[in-house]
């Protein structure tokens, strides 16, 4: 194990009372209980900068002074961790890459946007060995610029400046990433309980990378992408190529971007394996207090400089590892390569009969020349026919590689930052890129009241208006700020055809709203949201409360040309507990899928509770089903869902898979039907506590006001994010 698992028995029996270690929690007795903590992470209590607006403060940063300081750092080698070849560029690039490279397209989680590389598990992943040194080297810069520069921005920026210092013309950089203050609780990194466990458990069939478990992208626990030695550590470039292709696709990268990133990432820097891994101490999270948060310390031998052990592979990929050039393809394509073992015992490829002048020098002694190396993933760029064609094209046209890599690097380090409106700073590129999900500005000066009145008189039902607005907005993900109502992409492929959006109902509603929006000078996106508000106001009035739902105009309508349909496909809901729908049965329970959706939408547990109960009363279930509609006043925004759920005059009887009947205890008469996502609000102790609040006689108005507030947050989520 990691040295942190000592038994508590046998020591002095001092009772301290608190659960102060993370190895055991009060909920360990009930491992299947919902982890509602994922909805409440990053609370203001954990933030030492409470009330501080980073996105405003970073605009006051002296950007050029920062650029110079980071550039100077690159060649300011420190005795405690010397720079390879006198330049920290390779180390900083690897750090930025590994901060950004955890992003996965399926759920938008991971990425460089939060500074999570500072915390476990990422700070102690085997693949992130010695990146703790990079962060410590950057500490003087973070200390100097203080609150105006987040760790998240600095970790992403350092690699970009490193490339600039070595000769690459970068595509640009945007600030605006805000730090978190503890590890994310929502990100699923895999079920393995062993670092670098064989890949097999992540796949239905390890020979078919497309069968990797969603939403994962890395092939093994503790890796960013693929094993550099080959599939399960067995070299085979063609098999590795298949894993590389799938992994990078799950990061939203195509084949050309994959080759560019592989080549550009390995044009500079080196691997480290000139020593014995068994001499390394534990990872940062398991190291003793004397290590001060640094890990993998070698107290047996020298362990720094040329003697560093990180991946176990040893060597540089190019002749000039501190220079941006086309040397990667020169060596890869012009030499034959053979399998060898590094000094640390790792598989690597080395050239046969290489010219002396093509060898890189030793990282500490430039009078010594050594063999370059390639990983199995590098050899995939040569052996796989598709990758080979792209590699040769880049080799024969270095300017093409320069541009392709600069763009791919920018995408890698900004993919989770969200729409371009969130970008801050003088280095933001002007070009609009399709992966940024661009949306044109919408009109704000139209007569909102007049449009609202026409929608109210349009003949659309309350349920139709509410369901369409919800479906348009629910795609928002706070993980990478994608989706949401802005852009009205619900009318475009692929969203218009998603089963969860009820295409026939959707087209009916859009056909009514489109001419109304056009006549009013408003966007369809605004009209969809406004229609939902009309439905909510009608329902509130039917419940006895004459309240107005807040509305913010200005959404725009995206076009097909602005929409990468393939990348939007991953936003398709497989389930929506708020509308009591699942596409099919899954291994994961419906209530877990509801919880995941709520977390991505940025909802708290009480907001989730309030919204779901309200949606049932609005009759907004998918397909008009009556599951969970515990009322004879459907269409009125009442608390009946909670009142009847908490009524001990009822009992609950299973009637099939994910189907229950609510039965009168005295008469035995079935009153309503329900699903698991309905009943979990009565069965889960935390959710029941919230449900009971809304079931109280004195909280009917509170419920309506809370529902309107949560609804407005959902409708405006993508506007607020910018």
Q: Where in the sequence numbering do the catalytic residues fall?
A: 98
- Give yes or no for a contact between 304 and 336, defined as CB atoms under 8 angstroms apart: no
- From CA 93, how far away is CA 98, in angstroms rounded? 8
- From CA 407, how far away is CA 119, in angstroms rounded? 29
DSSP labels for 145-174? Answer: HGGGS-HHHHHHHHHHHHHHHTT-------
- Give yes or no for a contact between 459 and 512, defined as CB atoms under 8 angstroms apart: yes
- From CA 247, how far away is CA 257, in angstroms rounded? 12
Q: Which of 543, 705, 550 minimizes the C-alpha distance to 635?
A: 543
CB burial readout 481-493, b (16+ within 10 A) else e: bbbbbbbbbbbbe
- From CA 610, how far away is CA 524, in angstroms rounded? 28
Q: Please, what is the angle between helix 255-266 and helix 237-249, to 10°?
A: 110
First-last CA distance in the chain: 44
Tell me the helix, strand and coil percentages in the chain, rounded to 5: 45, 10, 45
Residue 456: φ, ψ to 5°: -60, -30
Q: Distance of CA 319 to CAs 161, 363, 369, 621, Å?
A: 21, 12, 10, 63
- From CA 418, how far away is CA 530, in angstroms rounded? 24
- The sign of the dihedral angle between the CA atoms of 522, 526, 528, 531 is negative
Q: Which of 434, 438, 441 minimizes the C-alpha distance to 419?
A: 438
The 8-class DSSP code of residue 22 comes to: T
H and E: helices and strands count for the chain = 22, 9
Kind plus residue range of the DSSP H or E element containing 339? strand 337-341
Both tokens assigned to 190: 């895999």
- Give yes or no for a contact between 96 and 159, defined as CB atoms under 8 angstroms apart: yes
The 8-class DSSP code of residue 659 comes to: E
DSSP labels for 256-269? Answer: HHHHHHHHHHHSS-
- Give yes or no for a contact between 403 and 169, defined as CB atoms under 8 angstroms apart: no
Q: Which of 534, 412, 470, 491 minimizes the C-alpha distance to 111?
A: 412
Which residues have C-beta within 8 Å of that of residue 719, sequence separation ≥ 6? 484, 486, 552, 554, 555
Q: Please, what is the angle between helix 676-683 and helix 590-600, to 10°?
A: 80
Residue 75: φ, ψ to 5°: -115, 15
| Tally of CB atoms within 10 A around 137 | 22
Residue 305, CB half-sphere, CA atoms under 13 Å: how many?
13
In three-state secondary structure terms, 241 is helix
DSSP labels for 579-626? Answer: GTEESS--SS-HHHHHHHHHHHTT--HHHHHHHHHHHHHTT--GGG--
* Neighbour-count burial of 367, counting CB atoms closer than 10 A to its CB (0-12 exposed, 13-18 middle, 19+ buried): exposed
């Amino acid at each position: 194990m990691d040295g942190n698992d000592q038994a508590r028995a046998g020591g002095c029996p001092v009772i301290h009372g608190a659960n102060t270690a993370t190895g055991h929690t009060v909920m360990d007795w009930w491992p299947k209980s919902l982890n509602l903590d994922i909805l409440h992470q990053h609370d203001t209590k954990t933030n030492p900068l409470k009330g501080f607006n980073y996105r405003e403060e970073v605009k006051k940063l002296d950007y050029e002074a920062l650029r110079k300081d980071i550039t100077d750092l690159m060649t300011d080698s420190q005795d405690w961790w010397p720079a390879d070849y006198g330049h920290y560029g390779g180390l900083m690039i690897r750090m930025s890459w590994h901060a950004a490279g955890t992003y996965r397209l399926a759920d938008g989680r991971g990425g460089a946007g939060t500074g999570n590389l500072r915390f476990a598990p990422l700070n102690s992943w085997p693949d992130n060995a010695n990146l703790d040194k990079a962060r410590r080297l950057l500490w003087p810069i973070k200390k100097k610029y203080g609150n105006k520069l987040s760790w998240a921005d600095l970790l992403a920026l350092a690699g970009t400046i490193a490339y600039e210092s070595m000769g690459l013309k970068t595509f640009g950089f945007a600030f605006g990433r805000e730090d978190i203050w503890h590890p994310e609780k929502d990100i699923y990194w895999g079920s393995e309980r062993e670092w670098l466990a064989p890949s097999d458990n992540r796949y239905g069939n390890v020979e078919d990378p497309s069968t990797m478990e969603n939403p994962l992208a890395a092939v093994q626990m503790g890796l960013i992408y693929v094993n550099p030695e080959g599939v399960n550590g067995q070299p085979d470039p063609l098999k590795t190529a298949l894993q590389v292709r799938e992994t990078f696709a799950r990061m939203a990268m195509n084949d050309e971007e994959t080759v560019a990133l592989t080549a550009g990432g390995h044009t500079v820097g080196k691997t480290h394996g000139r020593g014995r891994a068994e001499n390394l101490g534990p990872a940062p999270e398991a190291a003793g207090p004397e290590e001060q948060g640094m890990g993998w310390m070698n107290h047996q031998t020298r362990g720094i400089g040329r003697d560093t052990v990180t991946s176990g592979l040893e060597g540089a990929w190019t002749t000039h590892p501190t220079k941006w050039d086309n040397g990667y393809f020169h060596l890869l394509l012009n030499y034959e390569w053979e399998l060898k073992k590094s000094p640390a015992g790792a598989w690597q490829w080395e050239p046969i009969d290489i010219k002396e002048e093509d060898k890189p020098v030793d990282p500490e002694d430039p009078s010594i020349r050594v063999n370059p190396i390639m990983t199995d993933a590098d050899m995939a760029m040569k052996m796989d026919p598709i990758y080979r064609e792209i590699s040769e094209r880049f080799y024969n046209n270095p300017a093409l590689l320069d541009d392709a890599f600069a763009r791919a690097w920018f995408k890698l380090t900004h993919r989770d930052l969200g729409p371009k409106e969130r970008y801050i700073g003088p280095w933001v590129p002007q070009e609009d890129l399709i992966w940024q999900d661009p949306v044109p500005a919408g009109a704000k000066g139209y007569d909102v009241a007049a449009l609202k009145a026409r929608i109210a008189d349009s003949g659309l039902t309350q349920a139709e208006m509410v369901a369409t607005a919800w479906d348009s907005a629910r795609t928002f993900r706070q993980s990478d700020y994608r989706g949401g109502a802005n852009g009205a992409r619900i009318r475009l492929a692929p969203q218009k055809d998603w089963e969860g959006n009820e295409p026939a109902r959707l087209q009916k509603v859009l056909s009514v709203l489109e001419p109304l929006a056009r006549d009013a000078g408003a966007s369809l996106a605004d009209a969809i949201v406004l229609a939902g508000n009309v439905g909510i106001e009608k329902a509130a009035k039917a419940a006895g409360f004459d309240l107005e739902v807040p509305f913010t105009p200005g959404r725009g309508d995206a076009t097909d040309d602005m929409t990468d349909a393939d990348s939007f496909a991953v936003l398709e809901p497989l389930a929506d507990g708020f509308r009591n729908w699942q596409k099919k049965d899954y291994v994961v329970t419906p209530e877990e899928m509801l919880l995941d959706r709520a977390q991505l939408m940025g909802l708290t547990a009480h907001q989730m509770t309030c919204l779901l109960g309200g949606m049932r009363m609005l009759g907004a279930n998918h397909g008009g089903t009556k599951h969970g509609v515990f009322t004879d006043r459907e269409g009125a925004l009442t608390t009946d869902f909670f009142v009847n759920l908490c009524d001990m005059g009822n009992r609950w009887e299973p009637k099939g898979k994910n189907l229950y009947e609510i039965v009168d205890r005295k008469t035995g008469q079935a009153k309503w039907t329900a699903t698991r996502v309905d009943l979990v609000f009565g069965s889960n102790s935390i959710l029941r506590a919230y449900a009971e609040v809304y079931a109280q006689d004195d909280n009917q108005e509170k419920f309506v006001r809370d529902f309107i507030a949560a609804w407005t947050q959902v409708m405006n989520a993508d506007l607020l994010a910018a």
